[in-house]
A and B are shown apart, each in its own frame.
Chain A
Amino acid sequence: MTESAALLQAKEVGVRIGSKPIVADAALTLRAGELVVLVGPNGAGKTTLLRALAGLALASGDIIVQGTPLHHLAPRARAKIIAYLPQGHVFHWPMEVSAVVGLGRQPYADAFSALSPEDRIAVARAMAATTTEPFVGRAVTSLSGGEQARVALARALATEAPILLADEPTASLDPRHQLMVMDILRATAHRGTGVLAILHDLVLASRYADRVLVMQHGRIVADDSPDAALSLDRLASVFGVEAVVADTGSECVPFICRPLPHA
C-alpha cells in the first residue's frame, strides 16, 4: 500500500461472463475524500467493474479494501465498508420512506431489523443530506423519479460506509436533480468518504470529479484529472464524438458537437 488513505485498491482486475472478458486488467485506487467518476461508452464494462469492486461479481486479480482482500471479508463486514447504489431505483413494496432509508442500516441490524439509536441518527443524517425529510411517512412508490433517486441515495448514505459506489446515480433525472445528486456526492466525499460514480454526462464528470477514469472495451484507458482524461482527442477515440471546449466563464467543460462518421 502506497498511501494510508487508499480505501480501495484494484490491480489486474478481470471479469469474464462465460468465456467473454468484460473487464480486463483494470487498476484503480480510491482514496478517502475523493470523488472519482468512471465514464465510458455503453458496453465498456463500467457496471461490471463497479459490481466486481462491490463484491457482486466474481473477479480475478486483487481488490484490496482498507488493507484486506475483498474476498476475505464476510458479507456483512463488506456491507459496512462498501455502500453500493445500483443503477435505477427498485422499490418492490410501497414501504415508507424512512423505513426504506433505514434499510441502509441492515449491515448493523439484528435479526428483527430493529433500529438502534445510532441507526436512527444515521438515517436522520442521510435524509438531511439528501433533503428527503419532507417525504417521511410517505410511501416511496408515490414519489417522483427524482425524489425516489434521492431516497435511494439516502439509503446508500445511511450505511455511512467509508466507500460509496454509485452506478449512474443521475440517470433519467432532470437537470436540477442531476445537480442535486452530484452536490450530495461531492458533499459526501468532503466528509471523508471515497466516492466512485459511473456517469454518462461528461459535463457533470468534468465539473464535479476530482479524477476521471475512462473505460473502453473493458480496459481503463485513462486515469487523470478531468481536463486531461476528457481531452478532445480522447473523446474522439473513445466515444467517437467531435467536441469543443466550452468556456462558461467560470469553468471549461467539453461540449459534444456531433458523432464522428466512423468510430
Chain B
Amino acid sequence: MIGTRRISSLVAALAVLVLLLMLVSLMAGPAPLSPRAVLSALVSGDGVSGLIVRDIRLPRALLAALIGATFGLSGAALQGLLRNPLAEPALFGAPQAAAAGAAFVIAFGLSSATSFAVPVAGIAGSFVATGALLAIAGRRTSLTVTLLAGLAIASFAGACVALILNLAPNPYIALEIAFWLLGSLQDRSMDHVIIAAPFMMASWIVLAAQARAFRALTLGEETAISLGINMRRVRLAVIAGTAMGVGAAVAVVGAIGFVGLVAPHLVRRATGYDPARILLPSALAGAALLLAADIGVRLVPGPVEIKLGVVTALIGVPFFLAIIFSERRMMLETPA
C-alpha cells in the first residue's frame, strides 16, 4: 500500500511549489520586483510597488491558485465518480453555462467584461444548468442518462454563446466576448476574489467529503452501494459541487480548459491510483499549473498578452499526450 508518508511528502512538496509560484507571480510583470520588494509591499502596501503587488498582482495570484485548485479537485472528483480518467468538469455543462451567462451580460451592455455583474451572471448560469441537469436526469437515474443530459446542456449553452455572439449589437462587443471566452486573469480585482472564493471553497468541502465514496467506486457502483455508500447523494454532491466551484471559476476568468483533466493525471501514479488520496494533490497540482501558466503569459514578450485559456490548452495538450504515452500500458490494463 502506498504509504501515508509518501502522500504527505507529495502534498508538502506541491504546497511549497504553489507558494513559490505565488511569490513568482507577485514578482513577474512589466515592472519586475525582487522577492524582498514583494514582501515589503505586501506588508506595508506603500508606494507604486505596494499598489502593483496588492491591487494588481495579488488578486491575480490568488485567483490563479484558487481556480487552479478548484479545477484540479473537480477533475479528480469527476474522474473518481465516473471511474474514468477522461472525465472533466465540462462534461456536465457547468462551465459552458457559466460562459453563456457571462456572455449574455457583456453582450447586452449590462457591464464591461471585468466588472462585478459578469461573475454573478456566470455563477447563475452554472446553477441554472445544474438545476436543469438534475431535473432532466431525475433523482434515481443512471450515470449514462446524467452524462447525456450534461452533454445536451453543454451543447445548448455553447449554442447560446454562439447566438449571443451572432446577435451582438456591434463588433466591439462581439470581440470583447470572444476575448473574455479565451480566459484571462488580467485586470481582476479583489472584488472578484471575494465573490468567487466562497463558492469555490464550498465546492472543495462538498467534493472532498465524497472521498470515501470515490474509493469504494473503484469496485463499481453496485459494490460501492453494498459497502454502505449512498450513490444518489454522492452523485448529487459531485454535480452540485462541481457546478458551484467551476461555475464561479469560469464566471470570473472565462473558459480555461484542460487543468481539470490534466491535474489528476500528474499525480495519479504518485498517489497509487487511489481515487480518494488523489484529491488534495490534484487540487495543488491544478493550482501550480494555473499559476505557472499565468506567469508564463506575462513573461512572453509581445504587444498583447496571450490569453490564459490559450496557454493552458497549448501547453496542456502536448503535456497530456506525453503522460498518456508514458502511461498507456497501465491504462490498457484499466477497464474503461
Contact = CB atoms under 8 A, between A and B. Distances in A.
B335 A91 contact: yes
A95 B227 contact: no
A86 interface: yes
Contact of B226 (A56, A98, A141): A56
Interface stretch (A17-25, A105-113, A211-219, A232-240): A105-113
A98 B2 CA distance: 10
Interface stretch (B61-69, B156-164, B273-281): B273-281
Which of A80, A84, A95, A114 lies at the interface centre, i.e. has the most chain B CB atoms within 10 A of its CB?
A95
B1 A103 contact: no
A104 B229 CA distance: 12
Contacts of B229: 75, 106
B46 interface: no
Interface in A77-106: 77-80, 82-84, 86, 90-96, 98-100, 102-104, 106
Interface string A148-181: 0000100100010000000000000000000000
A54 interface: yes
Nearest to A98: B1
A113 B219 contact: no
A75 B230 contact: yes
Contact of B276 (A83, A92, A112): A112
Interface residues of B, number: 31
Given A54-B226, A82-B226, A109 B218 contact: no
A92 B218 contact: yes
A92 B227 contact: no
A140 to B, nearest CB: 9
A191 interface: no
A142 interface: yes
A80 B228 CA distance: 8
Contact of A99 (B211, B212, B272, B335): B272
A90 B219 contact: yes
A207 interface: no
A159 B223 CA distance: 12
A76 interface: yes
Given A56-B222, A99-B1, A111-B212, A92 B335 contact: yes
B228 A92 contact: no
B308 interface: no
Contacts of B275: 93
User: Main SS of chain A's interface residues?
Assistant: mixed
B275 to A, nearest CB: 6
Contacts of A155: 219
B209 interface: yes
Contacts of A222: none
B223 A90 contact: yes
Residues of A in contact with B, size category: 35 or more
A93 B226 contact: no
Contacts of A221: none
B86 to A, nearest CB: 13
Nearest to B227: A106
A8 to B, nearest CB: 14
Which of B222, B227, B274, B330 lies at the interface centre, i.e. has the most chain A CB atoms within 10 A of its CB?
B227
A94 B226 contact: no
Contact of A103 (B2, B4, B219, B230): B219
A86 B335 CA distance: 16
B220 A86 contact: yes
A139 interface: yes
B218 A106 contact: no
A79 B83 CA distance: 22
B224 to A, nearest CB: 8
B216 interface: yes
Interface in B23-68: none
Interface in B83-99: 83-84
A159 B219 CA distance: 14
Interface string B235-279: 000000000000000000000000000000000000011111000
B228 A139 contact: no
A93 B228 contact: no
A110 B208 CA distance: 13
A112 B216 contact: no
Interface in A104-129: 104, 106-107, 109-114
9 contacts: A78-B228, A79-B227, A80-B228, A84-B222, A95-B272, A96-B1, A96-B272, A103-B216, A155-B219
Given A56-B222, A56-B225, 6 more contacts: A54-B226, A90-B335, A92-B84, A95-B273, A113-B211, A139-B333
Interface of B: 1-2, 4, 83-84, 209, 211-212, 215-220, 222-223, 225-230, 272-276, 330, 333-335
Closest A-B pairs by Cβ, 10 of them: A79-B228, A76-B228, A84-B226, A92-B83, A90-B220, A141-B333, A93-B273, A106-B227, A75-B228, A98-B1
